[in-house]
Amino acid sequence: MTVVEVFVPAKVNLTLHVTGQREDGFHLIDSLAVFADVGDRLRITLPGDGRLTVEGPMAEGVPVDDSNLVLRAARMTGVRADFVLEKNLPHAAGLGGGSGDAAATLRVLAGFAGKPVPADGIALGTDLPLCLLGRAARVTGIGETVTPLPGLPALDAVLVNPNRPVPTSQVFAMLRQKHNPAMPERIPSFHGPADLVDWLGRQRNDLETPAIEAEPMIAQVFETLEKTPGCQLARMSGAGGTCFGIYQDAETAGSAAGRLAEAFPGWWVVAVRLNAPGRPG
């Protein structure tokens, strides 16, 4: 029997420009994405009977049938295993939790079988190629083109989700302007976090407006984050509804997270390090 434990980090879209829409309905994006030092944990036991158990603070509502992305990923590899998923990330939150769990499953099971990761993994979600890479990258196309960005500065931040799931399909359906400018062709080198934050402030997440229309509480999250002392930039990740605030250091971010958690006990609030070189393993 083999037991493998995997940390599955949250994905955060620092930018998300929607640049078009294909005839098949998929939207084209241009996004700068990084990973946080918080996330789910997945324990895989091989061989197994295909059982999935979900536990953790965000376990409620996570399916354990064949619709779960972990089990769908396992079927792609043809390897039978049992899984225990510790769900720490909120659902439909723009953090790539489901895709990250699926990516971890593909990596472990394909490696166990001595096979390459299935090339059609993107069928599990457009965040799948990014989550397979697992580090800072520029993501284009519908998510299938992932270009690593080594040397990107780490950032201290706070993630906030009002515990209101925001379906990605609904947000994209409500996006009125489908063709928007991409990021600059060349992403510059940054001398430090302040340089990166200044550049990010000139970029966008084109899904913020439709996400707020779908879930108005996101606007309250934005307003609240922006008012916390030391917040340099507030933006939404992915299609929502998680927003992030960036701060100059971990102490300021931690103080902001404490204030927010106390004022809004129903929200999911966590201080994080984005693009940290030594994430939990």
> Which pair of structure tokens corresponds to residue 111?
């490696």
Distances (CA, A) of 254 to 3, 29, 152, 250, 279: 34, 32, 22, 6, 17
Enumerate residues 6+ apart whose C-beta is below 8 A from 30.
15, 16, 17, 19, 138, 139, 140, 182, 183
Interatomic CA distance for residues 166 and 215, integer angstroms: 7
Q: Is 127 a catalytic residue?
A: yes
Closest of 120, 122, 146 to residue 135, by C-alpha: 146
- Residue 71 CB coordination number (10 Å): 19
Q: Is omega for the bond preceding 241 within 30 degrees of 0, making it cis?
A: yes
Choose, from 11, 30, 156, 206, the residue flagged as catalytic.
11
Q: Is 11 a catalytic residue?
A: yes
Q: Is 97 helix (H, G, I), strand (E, B) or coil?
A: helix
Choose, from 40, 82, 127, 156, the residue flagged as catalytic.
127
Interatomic CA distance for residues 48 and 50, integer angstroms: 6
Contact 171, 211 (CB under 8 A): yes
């659902």: which residue's tokens? 91
Torsion angles phi and psi, residue 30, rounded to 5: -140, 105
Contact 147, 141 (CB under 8 A): no
Q: Is omega for the bond preceding 210 within 30 degrees of 0, making it cis?
A: no
**H-helix or E-strand containing 47?**
none
Residues identified as active-site = 11, 127
